[in-house]
Chains A and B, each alone.
Chain A
Amino acid sequence: MIGSFGEAFRLIFSGDSTLYQIIAVTLRMTLTSSLLALLIGVPIGTWLGSARFRGRKILVVIDRALMGLPPVVCGLFCYLLFSGVGPLRALRLLYTLAGMVIAQVMLLCPMAIGMMESHANNIAPQIRENTKGLGIRRFRTLLLTMNESRYHIATTFLTLLGRALAEVGAVSIVGGAIMFKTNVMTTAIMDYTSMGNFKTALALGIILLFLSLALNIIVALVQGRFEK
């Protein structure tokens, strides 16, 4: 086991092109899907947490249910949409990075909405009381509420990125883990483990951990700057 760790570190710094290719595909996919989910989820979640209307609670319950959607179910749904018999077959998204991003956005959006909804629900009453008192319109109040949530948005992004990095079910079904094209770190770990290549699998696992740690450090530094 310890020997495997040593080998894994040697592999990381060896300049292995396959390994770097897998990392590059993973980063492209996770950063794109997390950013898209954030762009969609932040305004919707803030609105859902701030607004008061009939049926709001039903929407919140639906969103919370979707937050628990198993990735394989999402992957299956996307597979059926993109496959040769699906309604979106003309787009040729199956086994492509774009298809994997769409599947991940579908998984991550409810999470972004849910995280922003619960945060906005806490801060919105006081903001609304003040903005309404000044005669500020609803849309501007929504923008101000999002501005007030900047740290929470950063935390949400980090959480989405973590989820996207760790996700395997949907991307393996939609992407097919094609080497040099759609194979990402999690699907590659599964492949290498099943082939008995534990060193490469462990190297990828260590990189995943380091990526997560590095992202946490960056967000903490950014938050520190904002607080100054």
Chain B
Amino acid sequence: MILPALKKTYQGQLVLDIPSMEIADGSITAICGQNGSGKSTLAKILAGIEKPDDGTVTSDAARSVGYLPQQSYAFHMSITSNLMLNKDPEKTKQENLAHAQQLLKEIGLESMAKKNAKKLSGGETQKMALARLLMKSYDMIILDEPTASMDTASIPTAEKMICDYQRRTGCTILIITHSPEQAQRLASHTIRLEGGKLCE
């Protein structure tokens, strides 16, 4: 797939200015960079949350894109109900519920399935949001710092879930991370951003 050339400014300040890039379909690509390098802006533009000042992200109806924002939101309902918000329309309710339970078990939230998601800590909310996104198959998913709030013991589990999902669905994954180690562990390709520009 081709990522178009994109430009974005905030209050007159250029925060993103990248040329067109090619990303291999079905791969995991990491977008690395320090704080303020334009990683999240790029993720939001690709997910259709924000519009670029220059460049067009074509919204292909046939290509589904899932996005996990940096600040995950827990809706005021049980954790299972939160996951069921993203149920797969091609599965039955029972199948979706079974999938939700399996994902919660993998991420370590099974015992809290009936708990109100508002009661979760920041790290737990991020785990739940990741499980929620993985409920359904997408052609591409964009993960913005998916393990930033998690404790170190939970990170390998989350990373394994991401890799398993990619193998199972064959989707393209863009993972935004400030950790070069995480990029190395997960991704086959890495894009580095610095000051909103592509770093060779």
Chain A residues in the interface with B (C-beta under 8 A): 126-130, 132-136, 144, 147-148, 150
Task: Report A-chain residues with C-beta under 8 Å of the C-beta of B85.
Answer: 134, 136, 144
Are B64's CB and A129's CB within 8 A? no
Task: Report A-chain residues with C-beta under 8 Å of the C-beta of B136.
Answer: 134-135
Task: Report B-chain residues with C-beta under 8 Å of the C-beta of A150.
Answer: 76
Task: Report A-chain residues with C-beta under 8 Å of the C-beta of B49.
Answer: 128-129, 132-133
Are A130's CB and B72's CB within 8 A? yes
Task: Report A-chain residues with C-beta under 8 Å of the C-beta of B69.
Answer: 126, 129-130, 133
Are A147's CB and B75's CB within 8 A? yes
Are B86's CB and A126's CB within 8 A? no
Task: Report A-chain residues with C-beta under 8 Å of the C-beta of B157.
Answer: none
Q: Which residue of B lies closest to A127 (CB)?
A: B73
Q: Which residue of A lies closest to B67 (CB)?
A: A133
Are B48's CB and A144's CB within 8 A? no
Q: A130-B129, A133-B133 are in contact. Are A144 and B75 (CB under 8 A)?
A: yes
Given contacts A129-B44, A133-B68, A135-B66, 10 further A-B contacts (CB under 8 A): A126-B71, A132-B47, A132-B48, A133-B69, A133-B133, A134-B132, A134-B136, A135-B65, A135-B86, A148-B75
Report the bound CA distance from A137 to B69 in whole Å.
17
Report the bound CA distance from A55 to B14 in whole Å.
27
Report the bound CA distance from A150 to B77 in whole Å.
12
Chain B residues numbered 154-175 whose CB sits less than 8 Å from any CB in chain A = none
Report the bound CA distance from A215 to B129 in whole Å.
37
Chain B residues in the interface with A (C-beta under 8 A): 44, 47-49, 64-69, 71-73, 75-77, 85-86, 129, 132-133, 136, 142
Q: A147-B76, A148-B76, A150-B76 are in contact. Are A133 and B47 (CB under 8 A)?
A: yes
Are B66's CB and A134's CB within 8 A? yes
Listed by A's residue number, 14 A-B pairs whose Cβ atoms lie within 8 Å are A126-B69, A129-B71, A130-B69, A130-B129, A132-B47, A132-B48, A132-B49, A133-B68, A133-B69, A133-B142, A134-B85, A135-B65, A148-B75, A150-B76
CB distance from B115 to the nearest CB of A (A): 12
CB distance from A4 to the nearest CB of B (A): 48
Are A133's CB and B66's CB within 8 A? yes
Report the bound CA distance from A150 to B116 in whole Å.
15
Are B73's CB and A132's CB within 8 A? no
Q: Which residue of A lies closest to B74 (CB)?
A: A130
Are A130's CB and B66's CB within 8 A? no
CB distance from B61 to the nearest CB of A (A): 12
Report the bound CA distance from A126 to B72 in whole Å.
8
CB distance from A53 to the nearest CB of B (A): 14
CB distance from A173 to the nearest CB of B (A): 42
CB distance from B99 to the nearest CB of A (A): 15
Report the bound CA distance from A147 to B67 in whole Å.
22
Report the bound CA distance from A61 to B86 in whole Å.
36
Q: Which residue of B lies closest to A134 (CB)?
A: B86
Are A135's CB and B47's CB within 8 A? no
Task: Report B-chain residues with C-beta under 8 Å of the C-beta of A130.
Answer: 69, 72-73, 129
Task: Report A-chain residues with C-beta under 8 Å of the C-beta of B47.
Answer: 132-133
Residue of A127, A128, A132, A135 near B64 (CB, 8 A) is: A135
Task: Report B-chain residues with C-beta under 8 Å of the C-beta of A133.
Answer: 47, 49, 66-69, 133, 142
Are B133's CB and A134's CB within 8 A? yes
CB distance from B59 to the nearest CB of A (A): 12
Report the bound CA distance from A72 to B106 in whole Å.
63
Task: Report B-chain residues with C-beta under 8 Å of the C-beta of A126.
Answer: 69, 71, 73
Task: Report A-chain residues with C-beta under 8 Å of the C-beta of B142.
Answer: 133
Report the bound CA distance from A46 to B144 in whole Å.
27
Report the bound CA distance from A147 to B116 in whole Å.
13
Task: Report B-chain residues with C-beta under 8 Å of the C-beta of A127.
Answer: 73
CB distance from B40 to the nearest CB of A (A): 11
